[in-house]
Amino acid sequence: MFFKSKKKELLLRENIRVNCKADTQEQVIRQVGQMLVDSGYVKQSYVDGMVEREKTFSTFMGNGLALPHGVEAAKKEIKSSGIAVLTFPEGTDWDGNKVNVVIGIAGVGEEHLDILSVIADKMMDETAAEKLATGDVDTVYEILGGK
């Protein structure tokens, strides 16, 4: 189960979009980043930090998962910890890798490490990983929200 940030829930139902169509890697990052902006987790400039991170270090984690997040300098643009999720049942290209689940992350201080740990734990379970990639909003929320 995800811990709750001191300010608000880490995952809001409106920050889950399922059955997305493949797009360029940068557009996917910008889309998931904009969801974090729209929910008040980050300032707009954090999204550029997410794109910048990808230029220097791929956030592809294997098992069909990418976890875009901002560069260290962008951390000051985070208002509160939160995540946003896009699923691609047919996959989308991520530096030559097929990705089915993209989880944008904004973590205050060291909370991003806790968030990464929980997500990695969930994705190690192949059944949960498959359900995340192909499930509806409620399924994704249940798996990542721990409800």
17 contacts 85 by C-beta, under 8 angstroms? yes
21 occurs within a structural domain: yes
Quote the distance between the C-alpha of residue 113 and its chain's center: 13
Report if residue 113 sits inside a domain. yes
112 has catalytic annotation: no
The predicted structure's pLDDT at residue 63: 85
Question: Is 145 part of any domain?
Answer: no
pLDDT tens for the chain, residues 1 to 147: 344 445 578 999 999 999 999 999 999 999 999 999 999 999 999 999 999 999 999 999 888 999 999 998 999 999 999 999 999 999 999 999 999 999 999 999 888 888 988 888 888 888 888 899 999 999 999 998 754
Whether residue 34 lies inside any domain: the answer is yes
- Of 30, 53, 69, 122, which residue is the catalytic one? 69
Number of separate domains in the chain: 1
Cβ contact 94:58 at 8 Å = yes
Q: Is 100 helix (H, G, I), strand (E, B) or coil?
A: strand
CB atoms within 10 A of CB 78: 23
Q: What is the pLDDT of residue 7?
A: 57
Task: Determine the structural domain holding residue 102 and report its residue range.
Answer: 15-137
Q: Has this prediction a pTM greater than 0.85?
A: yes
Query: Which segments of 1-147 does DSSP mark as H helices, in order?
Result: 25-38, 45-56, 111-124, 126-134, 137-145
- Is 1 inside a domain boundary? no
The pLDDT, as a whole number, for residue 146 is 59
Q: What is the rounded distance in angstroms from the CA atom of residue 85 to the CA atom of residue 129?
A: 13
- Supply the DSSP symbol for 130: H
Euclidean distance between CA atoms 17 and 35, whole angstroms: 10
Q: How many CA atoms lie within 13 A of 34 on its CB side?
A: 8
Q: Is residue 41 part of a domain?
A: yes
Where b means 16+ CB within 10 Å and e means fewer, 115-145 reads bbebbeebbeeeebbebbbbbebebbbebbb
Whether 2 is in a domain gets the answer: no
**Which CATH number characterizes residue 37's domain?**
3.40.930.10
In-domain check, residue 147: no
* First-to-final CA distance of the chain: 7
Q: So what's the pLDDT on residue 95? A: 93
